[in-house]
């Protein structure tokens, strides 16, 4: 199996370690490679799937939306979210789906976070924010998105700072990601006033934002859960794995 990750800047990514570990646990021979590309190269890699030179690809910042126009089939979940992070070949056609939804849902469940009727704030409006938003909406949360360029129903960071005690703040921006580890999208005061803070960044494991809170939740489990979902699609099989054990092994590797 030849698998990989498409993105613009991938030095921060631990996806190869994750997928190589998952394949080892499944006794599958394969490789997972990072492909740092320009947007103009997207159709080249879609054709690599179509021509069976690659068996599957994940897609990350900033191509989760722009990849969609090159695909033959986009499933209902990815259409609803408006972003694709996993592509694969089926019946001669290149398909796109989104496994980040499953990854974030699993993160909430694993941390016993009940968002029903709660107001939740999402930092950022990129591809990852869309999956997070749909999970929260499906769980009956009220969702407010936050951007440096507020418009319509999207608020700005200054307005967010005035919220008294947010229930949940989810950072889906790259602010705080390696190598810019000294940055945080919000103040320590706001973070500490929040019931829960999730940063979907996983490198570093404790971002500047998460250093402000007592119960930090990073994006490592989300990465693992969505990665395993991708492999189920690529290999067309639901392997029975002890994901808690694999998670512990994964943490030791990075």
61 found inside a domain: yes
Q: Which long-range contacts (CB under 8 A, 24 or more apart) does 39-47 make?
A: 39/63, 39/66, 42/6, 42/66, 42/67, 42/70, 43/70, 45/6, 46/70, 46/71, 46/87, 46/94
Rounded Cα distance between 247 and 221, Å, is 7
**Residues paired with residue 24 on neighbouring β-strands, in sequence order:** none
- How many structural domains compose the chain? 2
3-class state of residue 142 by DSSP: strand
Provide mean pLDDT across the span 204-229. Answer: 96
What's the pLDDT at 55?
97
Q: 205: exposed, middle or buried (C-beta count within 10 Å: 0-12, 13-18, 19+)?
A: middle
- One domain for residues 70 and 133: no
180 found inside a domain: yes
- One domain for residues 117 and 207: yes
- One domain for residues 182 and 235: no
- Assess whether pLDDT exceeds 90 at residue 18: yes
Per the model's pLDDT, the better-predicted residue between 197 and 239 turns out to be 197
Asked if 64 is an active-site residue, the reply is yes
Q: Which of 142, 44, 52, 125 is nearest to 83 (CA)?
A: 125
Q: How confident is the model at residue 118 (pLDDT cuts 50, 70, 90)?
A: very high
- Assess whether pLDDT exceeds 90 at residue 129: yes
- Structure-block tokens of residue 119: 């107001």
> For the segment 33-51, what is each residue's pLDDT rounded down to a tens digit?
999 999 999 999 999 999 9
What's the pLDDT at 147?
97
Q: How confident is the model at residue 128 (pLDDT cuts 50, 70, 90)?
A: confident
Q: How confident is the model at residue 6 (pLDDT cuts 50, 70, 90)?
A: very high
3-class state of residue 196 by DSSP: strand
> For the segment 57-111, what is each residue's pLDDT rounded down to a tens digit?
999 989 999 999 999 999 999 999 999 999 999 999 999 999 999 999 999 999 9
> pLDDT averaged over the chain?
96
Which of the following is catalytic: 2, 26, 34, 64? Answer: 64
What's the pLDDT at 240?
87
Q: Which of 3-7, 133-137, 160-164, 238-242 has the lowest mean pLDDT?
A: 238-242
107 found inside a domain: no
Which pTM was predicted?
0.90
103 found inside a domain: no
Rounded Cα distance between 108 and 151, Å, is 28
212 found inside a domain: yes
What's the pLDDT at 254?
82
What's the pLDDT at 244?
92
Range of the domain at 205: 112-216
């Amino acid at each position: 199996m030849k698998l990989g990750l498409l993105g613009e800047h991938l030095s921060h990514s631990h996806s190869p370690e994750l997928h190589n570990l998952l394949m080892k646990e499944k006794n599958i021979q394969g490789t997972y490679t990072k492909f740092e590309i320009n947007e103009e190269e997207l159709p080249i890699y879609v054709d690599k799937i179509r021509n069976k030179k690659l068996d599957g690809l994940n897609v990350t910042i900033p191509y989760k939306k722009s990849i969609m126009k090159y695909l033959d089939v986009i499933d209902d979940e990815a259409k609803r979210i408006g972003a694709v992070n996993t592509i694969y070949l089926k019946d001669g056609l290149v398909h796109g789906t989104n496994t980040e939804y499953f990854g974030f849902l699993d993160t909430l469940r694993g941390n016993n976070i009940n968002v029903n009727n709660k107001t939740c704030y999402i930092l950022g409006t990129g591809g990852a924010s869309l999956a997070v938003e749909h999970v929260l909406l499906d769980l009956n949360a009220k969702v407010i998105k936050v951007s440096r360029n507020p418009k319509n129903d999207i608020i700005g960071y200054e307005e967010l700072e005035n919220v008294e005690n947010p229930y949940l703040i989810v950072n889906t921006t790259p602010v705080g990601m390696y190598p810019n580890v000294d940055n945080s999208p919000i103040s320590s005061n706001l973070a500490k006033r929040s019931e829960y803070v999730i940063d979907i960044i996983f490198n570093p494991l404790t971002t500047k934002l998460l250093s402000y809170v007592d119960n930090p939740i990073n994006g490592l489990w989300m990465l693992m859960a969505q990665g395993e979902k991708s492999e189920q699609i690529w290999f067309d099989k639901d392997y029975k794995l002890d994901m808690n054990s694999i998670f512990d092994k994964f943490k030791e590797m990075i």
